[in-house]
Amino acid sequence: MAFLKVVPLEKAREILNSFGMEPKTEEVPLEDALGRVLAEDVVSPIDVPPFDRATFDGYAVRAEDTFMASEAEPVRLRVIGEVHAGDFPDFALDAGTCAYISTGAPLPQGADAVIQFEDVEREGDEVVIFKPAYPGLDVVKRGVDVPKGKLVLEKGTRLGFKETALLSAVGLSKVKVYRKPRVAVISTGSEIVLPGEELKPGEIYDINGRAVSDAIRELGGEACFLGVARDDEKRVAELILKGISECDMVLLSGGASGGMHDLTSSVIERLGQLYIHGIAIQPGKPTIIGQIDGKPVIGLPGKPTSCLTNFTLLVAPLLRKLLGRETEVRKIRKKLAHKVFSVKGRRQFLPVKIDGDRAVPILKGSDVVTSFVDANGFIEVPENVEILEAGEEVEVTLFG
Binding to a second copy, residues 233-292 (CB under 8 A): 255-260
Residue among 96, 135, 149, 195 that touches a second copy (CB under 8 A): 195
> Is 79 within 8 Å of 124 (Cβ atoms)?
no
Q: 150 in helix, strand or coil?
A: coil
Residue among 100, 275, 349, 372 that touches a second copy (CB under 8 A): 372
Q: Which stretch binds a second copy (CB under 8 A): 14-22, 82-90, 176-184, 342-350?
A: 82-90
Q: Which stretch binds a second copy (CB under 8 A): 15-23, 84-92, 243-251, 388-396?
A: 84-92
Q: 12 in helix, strand or coil?
A: helix
Q: Peptide bond preceding 283: is omega within 30 degrees of 0, i.e. cis?
A: yes
Nearer of residues 217 and 331 to a second copy, judged by Cβ: 217
Residue 207 touching a second copy (CB under 8 A): yes
What is the nearest approach in angstroms of a second copy to the Cβ of residue 127? Answer: 18
Residue 205 touching a second copy (CB under 8 A): yes
Residue 144 touching a second copy (CB under 8 A): yes
Separation CA 230–CA 330 (nearest Å): 34
Side chain identity at residue 203, one-letter code: E
Separation CA 216–CA 331 (nearest Å): 18
Task: Tell me the three-class secondary structure of 320-389, residue by residue.
Answer: HHHCCCCCCCCEEEEEECCCEECCCCCCEEEEEEEECCEEEECCCCCCCCHHHHHCCEEEEECCCCCEEC
Nearer of residues 275 and 372 to a second copy, judged by Cβ: 372
Count of residues near a second copy by CB under 8 A: 89
- The interface with a second copy within residues 299-318 (CB under 8 A) comprises 302, 304, 308
Q: Which stretch binds a second copy (CB under 8 A): 74-82, 235-243, 312-320, 368-376?
A: 368-376
Residue 84 touching a second copy (CB under 8 A): yes
Separation CA 370–CA 224 (nearest Å): 25
Return the beta strands (E) in 217-330 as ranges. 222-229, 249-253, 273-276, 278-279, 288-292, 295-300
Nearer of residues 221 and 296 to a second copy, judged by Cβ: 221
Q: Is the dihedral of CA 170, 176, 178, 179 positive or negative?
A: positive
Instruction: Give the residues across from 190 on adjacent strands.
Output: none
> Is 249 within 8 Å of 296 (Cβ atoms)?
yes
> Is 266 within 8 Å of 323 (Cβ atoms)?
no
Q: Which stretch binds a second copy (CB under 8 A): 15-23, 98-106, 288-296, 349-357?
A: 98-106
Residue 149 touching a second copy (CB under 8 A): no
How many C-alpha atoms does 17 have within 13 Å on its Cβ side? 8
Residue among 59, 100, 178, 225 that touches a second copy (CB under 8 A): 225
Nearer of residues 100 and 275 to a second copy, judged by Cβ: 100
Nearer of residues 25 and 257 to a second copy, judged by Cβ: 257
Residue 217 touching a second copy (CB under 8 A): yes
Q: Peptide bond preceding 195: is omega within 30 degrees of 0, i.e. cis?
A: no
Nearer of residues 143 and 361 to a second copy, judged by Cβ: 143
What is the nearest approach in angstroms of a second copy to the Cβ of residue 389? Answer: 28
Residue 102 touching a second copy (CB under 8 A): yes
Nearer of residues 251 and 271 to a second copy, judged by Cβ: 251
Residue 224 touching a second copy (CB under 8 A): no
Pairing of strands 174-178, 25-29: antiparallel
Residue 196 touching a second copy (CB under 8 A): yes
Could you give the string, one character per residue 23-62, with x where binding to a second copy holds by CB under 8 A and - elsewhere?
Answer: -------xx--xx----------x-xxxx-x-x-x-----
